[in-house]
Structure 1
Amino acid sequence: MRALFIHIKRLFLLGTVTVLISSCAKPKTELILLGTVHQPIENFNADSLYNILVRISPDVILYEVDSSFFTDQFEFNTSWKSNEYKATSKYTDQNKVIIRPYDFTGRNEYRKAIGARPTDGLAKALLDSLYQTGLLNPADQLQYESYLQVNDTLNALAYYGAASFNNPATDSIAQSRQQLQYESLAKIMEQYPVFSDIHYQMENGDSISFLDGYKRAGEFWKMRNEAMSKHILHFVNTFPGKRILVLNGFFHRYYLNKLLLPVCNEHDFVIKNFDEY
């Protein structure tokens, strides 16, 4: 009987120690990749985003710009009319939260410097003109129409609210859309000499063909998402155990998930969706 009592006592003490260890364990870092739409539209505006911020109650908000948009004290040095700026500004007025930039440094200037912009838009406009006037061969016409259909489907989802563009199904459509834009359309352009023959003069005096500029835009899409994910991981390691909200235009969400999910265990964090709060 005494032996049984001692055994039960040991089990009780062991359970108590286990509970104490569990209660003292370091909380897991939570990363929420919140896809957004930058400008107000039906069913998603600054107020919609603000309400989501209140629900999540983040410790850290990562903002889709680079450090040039912040002071040395990480305060905004400019203002925008975007949903993110209005919602974040309202939230920080009422709550203590850390704001940090995480985008590719000097993204707009870099795109211009490598000739990716505005040639990407010019090349795409030229391709659309060839399509509209019936100058694409049947196979290329079908491929371009596939892009238009996926693009329209993805953009339409933005009008149904945050839940409609923060889910795996929409992420899959976004991935298809970006692959069609930067891979399939580039292959179509390669078949038509006009895209190699027409050049755009860059600010440094050099010129670049529409085709090469468009391809560089596709390369930059990969570079930018890789840089963003690298910066996000930096903040995951800087703020362990915190709830980190990443504001991102929802076309990026699939790519960030693809890059970050494989390293969750290595960096000790979990990725959660906004509707889990």
Structure 2
Amino acid sequence: MADFEYLIVYHIIKYRRKVVNKNISTAFPNKSKKEIKYIEKGFYRWFADYFFEAVKLLSISDSELRKRFKTVNSEEVEKCFEEGQDVATILGHYCNWEWLSCVGIDLPKSRIMGLVYHPLRNSAFDNLFKQIRSSQPNGVTVPKKDILRFLINYRRNGTRSIFGYISDQGPKWENIHLWLPFLNHPETPVFTGAERIMKKMNNAVFYVEMSRPKRGYYTATYKLITKDPNSLPEHEITKRFFGMLEETINKEPRYYLWTHKRWKRTREEFNRRFQVVNGKVIAKNDHED
């Protein structure tokens, strides 16, 4: 079914092909047209797999899941729990991020495993993906606006938790507080909200690197960023995350989500239209009023 979807999406509908080609070409300017086309087609083949793999989580057996999804360094996460520290993981739209709802597969069932998400506009798809992301035992999904309240409640109840933050989306103008070099773009606007929560909760922070050994199989590797987030300078966790994500993408670019217009907001336009006043981004016209 995914192979058929690929033919429809890539060759007939040509879903966002111009956006994808531009993103890949600007991210890898030294690659030949043949190499760019290889990445582009490989991305669409994986993208077709993504939806069917995600939906399969609703019915996959535990034995089949353990065959197809492996975790590395889970013992480091459990050690943090045993030492009384909750865990935050930071990750990107790489490989099938829906399968990251399974990262607690090798942890004790008493641990809460959750994903922070932004509700989708389409209620049917929103409900579907909430079911997918909470399909594993002790799996929960929490809207980003509610996450701090949930974390505080878990801590008060003595429940150890690990939550994943997908943090490579393009923020809206009013949420831009940091620009970083990323994938050959010297200034990419990035979110910093996840880092603020991690510091407030004093979480141990891990980057989760996803890889795809072969079709339908994934490996999630925990890589420690810090156990003492408040010892790091402001935005350092975010900077380290984007550096690690870029290394992952460079290893195998086909499995990154290239369909988003990630670089549509520029620093020049931001400086022309907005300014930062007391840490808040406001439109210049509003400030003048």
Higher helix share: 1
Q: Which has the larger radius of gyration?
A: 1
TM-score (norm 1): 0.26
Higher strand share: 2
Higher relative CO (Cα under 8 Å, sequence separation at least 6) belongs to 1
